[in-house]
């Protein structure tokens, strides 16, 4: 009997779950809402019940499942699957691995959600099997994963790959949720792009972004990308600034780890050519020529499936 792996990607709003073959193909995927009431105490039983219900629906027995790999937000002890703090979920000092193993009867491996997205892209996405890979996710925040010689980097206490909190503006930068200021997350995230664009549009009455602000009261990163495509100067200046800082960060990281693939994921990556062409130029400007030659900068291809596929890879490699 060919077994299936279970990939789980825990987000603040939804939990994505999938049954995946041993070679990384999705058999069935679905999602359930994340119940964060009572400090997230129902999440594990919700996952276990949902897996069980899906097996019944597919007329499969629990023996069909080999193991679970799960990505979760927050600070995690990779060896024990213990979550010290997951802000959006409400967990503090929570033994996630032990609890999920008890609830499902399967062996469970836990990693950070940005790390499993990087693993997913390496295994079945834009990484194309490249064992030296840098992944950066640009969403509400900026996340990342660093893979060296096929292994995800965790560091001494699980903090490797916190790319979003590399300082880009040492003095006078915008305040970041981490407590510092001037992090790349305050510039290259969707919220950072909107903030910078708002500032630039305020000083340019001819900018189409002012019209959007007037009608909707807010700007989205998507609006900025579209305005830049249409030649709006405030939007172009915004993306130039974002690409400069992000390109510098990526080049410095690449000079340290020499990746073969640099994968850009998250909602902001959908800005496409208007952002990526600028980013490639800035990366080449700051990276060592030999490092730049060895690296392909590309957009992630798995979208929301990266996490569950990365989770399945984790499960497989811990069987």
Tens digit of pLDDT for each residue in 260-319?
A: 999 999 989 888 889 999 999 999 999 999 999 999 999 999 999 999 999 999 999 988
Residue 70 — left, alpha, or beta (φ > 0 → left; ψ -120 to 50 → alpha)? beta
Q: Evaluate whether 119 touches 105 at the Cβ level (below 8 Å).
A: no
pLDDT at 243: 98
**pLDDT(79) > 90:** no
Q: Evaluate whether 110 touches 6 at the Cβ level (below 8 Å).
A: no
CA–CA separation, 28 and 152 (whole Å)? 26
The residues that bridge with 147 in the sheet, in sequence order, are: 133, 152
pLDDT at 154: 92
CA–CA separation, 111 and 304 (whole Å)? 17
Q: Which range has the worst mean pLDDT, 34-48, 49-63, 75-89, 124-138?
A: 75-89
Q: CA angle 18-24-30, nearest 5°?
A: 15
Q: Evaluate whether 295 touches 253 at the Cβ level (below 8 Å).
A: no
Confidence of residue 92 (pLDDT cuts 50, 70, 90): confident
CA–CA separation, 164 and 11 (whole Å)? 18
**pLDDT(89) > 90:** no
- Mean pLDDT, the chain, as a whole number? 94
pLDDT (average), residues 22-26: 96
**pLDDT(165) > 80:** yes
**pLDDT(86) > 90:** no
**Cβ density class 149-180: b for 16+ within 10 Å, e for less:** eeebebeeebebbbbbbbebeeeebbebeeee
List the strands of the sheet with 26-33, edge to edge.
26-33, 14-21, 4-10, 65-72, 108-112
């Amino acid at each position: 009997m060919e077994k299936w792996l279970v990939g789980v990607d825990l987000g603040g709003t939804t939990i994505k779950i999938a049954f995946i073959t041993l070679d990384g193909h999705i058999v069935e995927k679905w999602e359930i809402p994340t119940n964060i009431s009572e400090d997230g105490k129902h999440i594990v039983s919700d996952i276990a019940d949902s897996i069980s219900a899906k097996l019944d629906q597919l007329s499969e027995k629990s023996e069909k499942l080999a193991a679970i790999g799960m990505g979760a937000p927050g600070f995690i002890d990779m060896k024990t699957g213990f979550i010290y703090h997951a802000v959006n979920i409400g967990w503090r000092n929570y033994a996630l691995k032990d609890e999920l193993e008890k609830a499902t009867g399967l062996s469970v491996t836990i990693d950070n959600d940005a790390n499993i997205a990087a693993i997913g892209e390496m295994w079945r996405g834009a990484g194309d099997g490249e064992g030296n890979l840098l992944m950066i996710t640009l969403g509400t925040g900026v996340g990342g994963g660093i893979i060296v010689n096929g292994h995800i980097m965790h560091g001494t206490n699980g903090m490797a790959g916190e790319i979003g909190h590399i300082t880009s503006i040492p003095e006078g930068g915008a305040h970041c949720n981490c407590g510092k200021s001037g992090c790349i997350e305050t510039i290259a995230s969707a919220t950072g792009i909107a903030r910078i664009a708002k500032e630039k549009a305020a000083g340019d009455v001819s900018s189409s972004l002012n019209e959007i602000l007037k009608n909707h009261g807010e700007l989205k990163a998507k609006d900025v990308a579209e305005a830049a495509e249409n030649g709006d100067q405030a939007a172009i200046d915004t993306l130039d600034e974002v690409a400069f800082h992000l390109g510098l960060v990526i080049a410095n990281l690449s000079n340290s780890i020499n990746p073969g693939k640099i994968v850009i994921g998250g909602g902001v990556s959908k800005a496409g050519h208007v952002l990526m062409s600028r980013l490639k130029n800035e990366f080449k400007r700051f990276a060592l020529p030999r490092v730049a030659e060895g690296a392909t900068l590309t957009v992630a291809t798995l979208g929301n499936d990266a996490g569950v596929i990365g989770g399945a890879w984790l499960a497989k490699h811990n069987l």
